[in-house]
Structure 1
Amino acid sequence: MNLDERAINQQEQIMPYIDALPEPALVVDYQGVYLNCLGGSDSTKHHKLHTLIGKTHHEVLPARVADELNHAIRRSIDGNCLVEHHYSIDPAELKFVDHSTGPCHVQHFTALISPVSGKKQAIYTVSNITAHKKMMEKVERQAKELERLTTVDHLTQCYNRYALDKLLPNQLKKACNDGHNVTIVMVDLDRFKPLNDQYGHLYGDLVLKLIANCLMKHCVDVYRYGGDEFLLYFEQLGAEDLPTLAKNIMFDIAAEGENQHVPETLSVTLGIAHIDTLSKIQDIESVVAKADQALYQAKHAQRGTFHIL
């Protein structure tokens, strides 16, 4: 047996193993013409691709996918380097493939492209990452839900104290960098303990939820600061608008209590800190302390009022 015959024999012996590879490897030229197809035996993740030999990416794939894949292949060949490329395909958009086998829903793939030495060609393996992508999306959703659960007060559904400590420093820093003014409103429910004692904790919970819902209509960033205290964060409010804001909040809470047939008129006291120019060294404690001081002065003067510092 001469060398050529031996090489052919070895190739024939190894081909069944190559064809058995679950993920396909495709050989293409610089123009994106399929020259060969190896492997791809897993019909749950791939269509049979041997029928594509001689076709171009643009004849088989959607135009955008073909353009991006060709660009990645040329980067690999021109740069003589490995290129990783991600793409998604709806099997219904594939042409010249046997649709009787293979997946039928949108699939996500990673192509690892390697240049062929001495030729204007490349070979790329195609890995179906659909299951992995779905798993990662599920993990991301779970992480977001966990984040929500750790930052949202379960009773009122506004931000909790942990969220205040985590989010507000970054908000203050951004406001400082953007040159925005900041307004902190401390809201204290008047006579909450007597209400709880007289009507019970379920009534108290109802009142807290009602107040939180009203506050969230006025402000995106509402935090439950303590048992019956809430903190509202605003940017770019005019100082002249603050009295109107305070009166609207107090009026809406009283009106909502009446609409919900709450047996006692709901009243809140507000302390408002308006900071026109934030200092880079100004921390959350000093900003909240100013609003707390305003609340103290309002409560000391008369419940159901507001004070602005």
Structure 2
Amino acid sequence: MTVAASHDPRRRRPWAWWILPLAALGLVMAMGWGAYEVYQDREKRYRHQVESALRVANMLQAQSVADWRQRRLAEGAALLDDSLFAQAVARWQATPAPEREALVRERLRTMVERAKYTAAYLVSPDGQLLLSPAGPANGQLPLPARQVLQRALDQAEPAMVEMHRNALFAFPIFGVLAPVFDGVRPVAAVWLVSDVRTTLYPLLDAWPSASRTAESVLVERDGDEVLYLSPLRHRFDEPLTLREPLAGADNDDPVQRAALGARGTLYGRDYRNERVLAMVSTVPDSPWLLISKMDVADAFTDAQRREWLALALLASLGLLWAGSMAVLWQWRAWRRERALKTELERNMRWLENAQQAASVGYFAYDAARAEFFMSRMASAMFGLPADGYMTLHQWVAMLHPEERERVLDIHGRALSGRAPLRTQYRILRPSDGQMRWIEVWGEYGSDDEAGPARMTGTVQDITERKHAEEQLARYRAALEERVRLDALTQVANRLALDEVVAQEWSRAERDGSSLALLMIDVDHFKAYNDRYGHVAGDQCLQSVARALSSGAVLRASDLVARYGGEEFAVLLPGTDATFAAQAAQRLCEAVNALALEHSANPQGDRVTISVGVASLRPRDVAAPPGQPRAGVDAAQALFQQADAALYRAKQAGRNQVAIYEPGRMDVLHAPAPVPQDLHDL
């Protein structure tokens, strides 16, 4: 029996009753571990999405603030380039008549009404307030603006007065000082004042989704303190009044860490002692720092709650039926995936709307896959379908052939050095064959130093801006040409003459040729003005200028210029003294032929001229001992000789041509008959 009992199968299988529960428990634990790993992966991906959305919002806001600053600077540059305004200011300062003051005030009123400035003042070079759109102004610039004014005048370019408070205004202001020059002489400056509450602070309110804790704040490091430039959402301090001392590197506040040099994504505790996720970046071309942040609880709590509830449900159903648990878990995972996609799509729609409003597109480049992910706006700029993808080969093929090597080198160096990228280049769109200008801002990064690099950034079509810059360059060239033209006689002025003399003197030095100069004076012109009046005097000068131009400019290289007052000069490259004297006699005849009445002329009853002639070869001019022969300085000898010859012609009785020669000067009486062959010169 004993043996029989030992072989009873019911006595040999009691282990099955505890091995099965252990197996079931192991299965549940394995499923729980797998679910937990999936949760960790989902949480990491969601965290990356939230951080990326915050980074893009911060980048767009920083770019908006930078563009706002550049627009202010560009408006100041427009005032600097406004020669009509500079002339109006100079005339008003010379003669403060009401009608001249009204012209200046009207220009200031235009800046206030059209450019949306709070105030615009005309100030003197030493900082005294002169005019406002309403009339004369008293007082002087605040200290920060006076310091900037001196720099703007020295550098001859507009300068920004950073955000500050001033007793003249009850709110924070930002200013631009645009110097005003009459030629090369600074006569005044325009102080443009912006109310940052209505122009700058609204740029910090744009966010991809509604959030009760999200905010962006502008700060600036001021010595050992942090100065808050914009208002805080959860405090009521006035902007530019809140200062905090730097607390050291161990401080957990993102603002403190940003002031100490930290950039990018940060986790810490803000001024409310709340745990926050922050993105720190610098505003380009400024001392400002932009910190965009939101509470960690606000960003992640809802997602974490959904994940833990899903895990609890999965564990409960796993105890009932493993197969159903797997199916249900997959269903719940699909639901979560769809919710995340819906939220991501909503954020992307907001981002696309913001990009479209700012004409900016967003892209992300995956170096491992050599592929770009493009926003809809970015795809439209490159003329691509709105599927959101562009291969590296497609992008390289679009680059303009003249810039392809340069652009690839810039991107390659930025990628290898993980450095920020900002560049402009041209593309040829395959969709319509248009050439477009593109500006790219980007940052490279990876999950770890050894991981694959990727780039995220913005892209903007700046073709119209480039066209505007080209038009502005042409406009400036036209202004430069007008600057070198005498306004009364419409011949070249003294500036143009000096420039051409320097050029022709250098050419004569190279070629070994002669350079001739005729100095011309209208005889007894003061008596003419006294007898007939200044209006008739201006008309007389215009007639003489036309006669000189028609009688002297026989070649493209010859130049007629008004030297000053009633004096003119004619430059004849490649001409010796003999032929220059013959040309001078023809000019005397041409002016005599005008038959302009001049009853106050002691030598006759018509307008006449006296001419001094000089001709030099640059190689014949002796340099001062121990000094090289300098072209522009040595050319002054030509002016001195021609002026001496003119003086001799006037001493000889005027209406004369005098030729300068070393040791003597020949005087030719005019008008004298001109040989027929000389007219062919």
* TM-score in terms of structure 2 length: 0.35
2:646 counterpart residue number: 295
Q: How do residues 39-78 of structure 1 correspond to structure 2 at under 5 angstroms?
A: 40=377, 50-51=386-387, 53-54=389-390, 56-57=394-395, 61=398, 66-68=400-402, 70-76=404-410, 78=412
**AA aligned opposite 2:650:** K
2:339 counterpart residue number: none
* In structure 1, distance between residues paired with 2:444 and 2:366: 10
1:178 counterpart residue number: 510
1:2 counterpart residue number: 39
* In structure 2, distance between residues paired with 1:72 and 1:119: 24
Deviation digits for residues 128-168 of structure 1, max 9, x if unmatched?
3356546645665665566556544321123444655x636
What's the secondary structure of 1:158's corresponding residue?
coil
1:196 counterpart residue number: 529
Contact 2:577 2:659 in 1 (8 A): no
Over 3 Å counting, the alpha-carbon distance change for 1:201 and 1:54 in structure 2 is closer
Alignment partner of 1:36 is 2:370: no
* Stretch deviating more after TM superposition (272-281 or 139-148): 139-148
Deviation at 1:294, TM superposition (A): 0.8
**AA aligned opposite 1:274:** S
Deviation at 1:39, TM superposition (A): 7.0
> CA RMSD of the aligned region, Å?
4.4
Alignment partner of 1:227 is 2:559: no
Deviation at 1:230, TM superposition (A): 0.8
Contact 1:76 1:115 in 2 (8 A): no
Contact 1:57 1:70 in 2 (8 A): no
Deviation at 1:207, TM superposition (A): 1.6
Over 3 Å counting, the alpha-carbon distance change for 1:223 and 1:75 in structure 2 is same
Over 3 Å counting, the alpha-carbon distance change for 1:225 and 1:73 in structure 2 is closer
Over 3 Å counting, the alpha-carbon distance change for 1:76 and 1:193 in structure 2 is closer
**AA aligned opposite 1:307:** A
Contact 1:196 1:204 in 2 (8 A): yes
| 1:269 equivalent among 610, 616, 621 | 610
1:95 counterpart residue number: 431
Alignment partner of 1:245 is 2:583: yes
Alignment partner of 1:215 is 2:553: no
Deviation at 1:289, TM superposition (A): 1.7
Give identity over the alignment, percent. 22
Deviation digits for residues 179-224 of structure 1, max 9, x if unmatched?
5532221011123334334433322211211222333453554332
What's the secondary structure of 1:50's corresponding residue?
coil
2:487 counterpart residue number: 154
Contact 1:152 1:163 in 2 (8 A): yes
Over 3 Å counting, the alpha-carbon distance change for 1:224 and 1:38 in structure 2 is same
Contact 1:84 1:110 in 2 (8 A): yes
| 1:305 equivalent among 633, 656, 663 | 656
**AA aligned opposite 1:288:** F
What's the secondary structure of 1:251's corresponding residue?
helix
Over 3 Å counting, the alpha-carbon distance change for 1:46 and 1:155 in structure 2 is farther
Deviation at 1:295, TM superposition (A): 0.9
* In structure 2, distance between residues paired with 1:29 and 1:234: 67
* In structure 2, distance between residues paired with 1:145 and 1:67: 32
* In structure 1, distance between residues paired with 2:484 and 2:510: 25
Contact 2:489 2:541 in 1 (8 A): yes
1:109 counterpart residue number: 438
Deviation digits for residues 243-289 of structure 1, max 9, x if unmatched?
3322332333344x25xxx4464432211111112552544554322
* In structure 2, distance between residues paired with 1:129 and 1:204: 52
Structure 2: where are the runs of 5+ without partners?
A: 1-37, 54-343, 599-605, 624-628, 661-681
Q: How do residues 73-84 of structure 1 correspond to structure 2 at under 5 angstroms?
A: 73-76=407-410, 78-79=412-413, 80=416, 84=423
* In structure 2, distance between residues paired with 1:29 and 1:176: 62
**AA aligned opposite 1:271:** G
**Bigger Rg over Cα:** 2
Contact 2:519 2:612 in 1 (8 A): yes
What's the secondary structure of 1:84's corresponding residue?
strand
Contact 1:114 1:123 in 2 (8 A): yes
* Stretch deviating more after TM superposition (188-197 or 75-84): 75-84
* In structure 2, distance between residues paired with 1:42 and 1:250: 71
The alignment of Structure 1 onto Structure 2 pairs a total of residues equal to 287
What's the secondary structure of 1:178's corresponding residue?
helix
Over 3 Å counting, the alpha-carbon distance change for 1:297 and 1:69 in structure 2 is closer
**AA aligned opposite 1:206:** Q
Contact 2:523 2:608 in 1 (8 A): yes
* TM-score in terms of structure 1 length: 0.68
* In structure 2, distance between residues paired with 1:106 and 1:96: 9
What's the secondary structure of 1:67's corresponding residue?
coil
* In structure 1, distance between residues paired with 2:521 and 2:650: 9
* In structure 1, distance between residues paired with 2:362 and 2:509: 51
Contact 2:572 2:580 in 1 (8 A): no
What's the secondary structure of 2:575's corresponding residue?
coil
Over 3 Å counting, the alpha-carbon distance change for 1:88 and 1:122 in structure 2 is same
* In structure 2, distance between residues paired with 1:123 and 1:232: 63
Contact 1:77 1:114 in 2 (8 A): no
* In structure 1, distance between residues paired with 2:474 and 2:461: 22
1:102 counterpart residue number: none
Deviation digits for residues 10-45 of structure 1, max 9, x if unmatched?
455536366444422456799xx86321474799x8
Contact 1:77 1:120 in 2 (8 A): no
* Stretch deviating more after TM superposition (284-293 or 191-200): 191-200
Alignment partner of 1:86 is 2:402: no
Deviation at 1:291, TM superposition (A): 0.6
* In structure 2, distance between residues paired with 1:263 and 1:142: 42
* In structure 1, distance between residues paired with 2:390 and 2:468: 36
